[in-house]
């Protein structure tokens, strides 16, 4: 079969190609540039724990080896410290990972270069997309004008996405929601390894808000919130901000080396559609956000995690329209909620007047900002797809656990089929649903003994009979779950359902719902569509897909469909 065409070789496009490769799906990445990113230390990536874990699971060692994990987070208002959060083994939360974006891209490129299922084509600027019943054809313009054939196409080509324009998808939203001046410098600050948010700093050029976030080798990124429609920031004014800010924190301006500077504007936009036939949007092509500490790259990587396993199922076995449509239904809804939360908070946090001086206001504002920066609450927490079209119907056999249905599962220790003890999330990204039995006490026994005891034989038989590939795991405990609870987990780590005891029929129904119902033929697809014109010769793309077993579906299993708004 034809590979998946990924348009755009930024972090999201590269991560998608690696995620597809993990599912055994080949891809061609069309890179408009020359294959190298200009080093910009002031342009950094801040990955929440779940997206940093995804990047590492894809094989990007740069996140682990070159990313900075903070030891803490401090919030200040004027002269007063409002909050302190500790990270790490002895802290409250796992730390985000902070690194220059060009280093992240380089690490992903290095991983892609070593993978036989991914092919990158530089100087490949898209100008035409055509669709038919069996695939997608894309044309790239000079210098190497070429036609490419793919099973699906995903536009990961940024805020000015050519794919989005060729598909005639609107991109409404708000312009210039926030402006920031930014500087990367090497110096010593009083909070080694800690990030700082300082609101209303008491020096002349401090403005309304400034943040300091550490990188490797004594480098810091400093951001100043600018007035939405202020004057241009000159190099002299930016240097004055640097000196005044360092003096305000250290008592006097310490020695520093200025590495990079810039001014950037944040927009809030959301594409009307994320799927047109066999073409999809992801990352900046589908959404823009970033005010109040939210991170658009995080959401782009969550797009990847959601879309890759669905395309893989469609590529290997065929997929229902419900499964393919669920990408937009789940991810667009989640990002829309994030944008809505930020837009509701902006007037409160950036406003003026009496309400900013009311008792408790400063602490409430700090909570909102901290949530955005640290990946918590409505502004930053990983989403739960509670209204997903892939959710199974509720039954009396289902039970509640510490994770909401559709939410990301807790990363508990589990025993794998080979008897090894691993983290639950280490088993994700392999194209399989996971069935997890909560069985306290099994950790003291060898797997070969308890595999034939208690409920295990019946559960193993039920897992074998599922309409999808699945892996049976066992854990000593799961938050909010009692003994003999059975969890069904999607390939991207979101909880499908939890049952009290072994319920083969209900487990089958839930697994079938989570794949969108029985797949249509792998050749079924949307009707022809065309955009743009080109008259260059056709070049066929390589297909390096792996063979997959045929799927058997019970004859009496009815088709499932769901309306998507």
Cα separation, 125 vs 94, whole angstroms: 40
What band does 347 get if pLDDT is binned at 50, 70 and 90?
confident
CA dihedral sign of residues 195, 201, 203, 209: positive
Q: What are 406-440's pLDDT values in tens digits?
A: 999 999 999 888 888 899 999 998 889 999 999 98
User: Chain-centre distance of CA 455, in angstroms?
Assistant: 36
pLDDT of 106 > 50? The answer is yes
Cis status, amide bond into 8, omega within 30 of 0: no
Which residue, chain included where needed, has tokens 């939210």?
A: 294
Cα separation, 411 vs 426, whole angstroms: 9
DSSP class of residue 384 equals: -
pLDDT of residue 549: 33
Partners of 194 in the beta sheet? 72
Of 289-303, 442-456, 471-485, give the lowest mean pLDDT range.
Answer: 442-456
Of residues 353 and 371, the one with the higher pLDDT is 371
The closest of 180, 198, 179, 202 to 189, measured between CA atoms, is: 198
pLDDT of 398 > 70? The answer is yes
Which residues does 209 contact at the CB level (< 8 Å), separation at least 6? 197, 198, 199, 200, 224, 225
CB 152 within 8 A of CB 279: yes
Q: What are 252-270's pLDDT values in tens digits?
A: 999 999 999 999 999 999 9
Identify the H or E element spanning 223. strand 219-226
Cα separation, 120 vs 113, whole angstroms: 8
Which residues does 347 contact at the CB level (< 8 Å), separation at least 6? none
Supply φ then ψ for residue 192, to 5 degrees: -60, 125
pLDDT of 537 > 60? The answer is no
pLDDT of residue 447: 63
DSSP class of residue 28 equals: E
Of residues 375 and 364, the one with the higher pLDDT is 375
pLDDT of residue 548: 37
Cα separation, 491 vs 312, whole angstroms: 11
DSSP string covering 412-460: -EEE-TTS-EEEGGGG-SSS-EEEEEE-TTGGGS-HHHHTTSTTHHHHH
Q: Where are the beta strands (DSSP E) in 271-378?
A: 275-276, 279-281, 287-288
Of 56-70, 191-205, 540-554, give the lowest mean pLDDT range.
Answer: 540-554
3-class secondary structure, 475? strand
Tell me the average pLDDT across 223-233. 84
Tell me the average pLDDT across 68-76. 94
Mean pLDDT score of the chain, rounded to an integer? Answer: 87
| Residue 29 vs residues 167, 231, 346: alpha-carbon distances, Å | 19, 40, 37
| Helix extents (H) in 433-531 | 447-450, 456-464, 504-514
Cα separation, 128 vs 41, whole angstroms: 35
Cis status, amide bond into 143, omega within 30 of 0: yes
What band does 554 get if pLDDT is binned at 50, 70 and 90?
very low
What band does 367 get if pLDDT is binned at 50, 70 and 90?
confident
Which residue, chain included where needed, has tokens 């280093």?
A: 103
Which residue, chain included where needed, has tokens 């890179």?
A: 31
Q: What is the pTM of this model?
A: 0.89
What band does 498 get if pLDDT is binned at 50, 70 and 90?
very high
Cα separation, 503 vs 499, whole angstroms: 7
Cα separation, 299 vs 284, whole angstroms: 9
Q: Cα dihedral angle (391, 57, 70, 209), rounded to 10 degrees? A: -50
3-class secondary structure, 62? helix
Which tokens is 560 given?
């499932």
pLDDT of 529 > 90? The answer is no
DSSP class of residue 332 equals: I
């Amino acid at each position: 079969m034809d590979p998946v065409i990924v348009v755009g070789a930024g972090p999201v496009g590269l991560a998608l190609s690696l995620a597809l490769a993990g599912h055994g799906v080949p891809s061609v990445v069309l890179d408009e540039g020359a294959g190298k990113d200009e080093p910009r230390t002031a342009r950094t990536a801040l990955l929440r724990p779940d997206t940093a874990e995804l990047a590492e699971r894809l094989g990007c060692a740069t996140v682990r080896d070159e990313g900075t994990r903070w030891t803490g987070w401090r919030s200040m208002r004027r002269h007063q410290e409002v909050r302190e959060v500790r990270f790490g083994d002895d802290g409250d939360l796992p730390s985000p990972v902070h690194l220059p974006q060009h280093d992240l891209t380089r690490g992903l490129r290095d991983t892609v270069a070593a993978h036989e299922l991914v092919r990158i084509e530089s100087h490949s600027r898209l100008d035409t997309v055509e669709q038919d019943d069996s695939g997608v054809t894309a044309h790239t313009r000079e210098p190497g004008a070429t036609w490419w054939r793919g099973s699906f196409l995903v536009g990961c080509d940024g805020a000015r996405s050519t794919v989005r324009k060729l598909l005639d998808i609107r991109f409404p939203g708000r312009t210039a929601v926030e402006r920031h001046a930014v500087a990367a410098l090497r110096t010593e600050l009083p909070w080694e390894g800690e990030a700082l948010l300082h609101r209303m700093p008491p020096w002349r050029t401090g403005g309304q808000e400034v943040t300091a976030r550490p990188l490797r080798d004594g480098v810091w990124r400093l951001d100043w919130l600018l007035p939405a429609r202020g004057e241009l920031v000159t190099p002299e004014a930016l240097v004055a901000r640097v000196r005044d800010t360092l003096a305000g924190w250290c008592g006097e301006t310490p020695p520093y080396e200025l590495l990079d500077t810039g001014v950037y504007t944040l927009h809030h936009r959301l594409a009307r559609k994320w799927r047109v036939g066999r073409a999809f949007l992801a990352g900046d092509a589908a959404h823009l956000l970033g005010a109040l500490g939210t991170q658009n790259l995080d959401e782009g990587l969550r797009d990847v995690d959601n879309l890759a396993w669905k395309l893989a199922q469609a590529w290997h076995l065929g997929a229902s329209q419900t499964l393919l449509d669920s990408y937009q239904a789940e991810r667009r809804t989640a990002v829309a909620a994030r944008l809505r939360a930020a837009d509701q908070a902006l007037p409160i946090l950036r406003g003026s007047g009496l309400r900013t001086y009311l008792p408790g206001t400063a602490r409430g504002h700090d909570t909102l900002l901290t949530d955005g920066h640290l990946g918590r609450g409505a502004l930053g927490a990983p989403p739960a797809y509670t209204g997903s079209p892939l959710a199974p119907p509720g039954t009396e056999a289902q039970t509640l656990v510490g994770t909401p249905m559709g939410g990301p599962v807790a990363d508990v220790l589990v025993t794998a089929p080979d008897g090894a003890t691993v983290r639950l999330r280490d088993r994700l990204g392999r194209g399989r649903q996971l069935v997890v039995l909560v069985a306290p006490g099994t950790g003291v026994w060898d797997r070969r003994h308890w595999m034939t005891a208690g409920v295990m034989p019946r559960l193993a038989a039920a897992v074998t009979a599922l309409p999808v590939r699945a892996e049976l795991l066992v854990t000593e405990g799961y938050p909010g779950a009692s003994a003999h609870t059975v969890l069904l987990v999607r390939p991207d780590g979101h909880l499908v359902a939890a049952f009290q005891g072994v319920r083969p029929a209900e487990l089958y129904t839930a697994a079938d719902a989570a794949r969108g119902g029985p797949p249509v033929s792998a050749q079924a697809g949307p009707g022809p569509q065309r955009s743009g014109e080109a008259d260059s010769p056709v070049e066929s793309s390589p297909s390096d897909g792996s063979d997959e077993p045929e799927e058997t579906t019970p004859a009496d299993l009815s088709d499932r469909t769901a309306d998507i708004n």
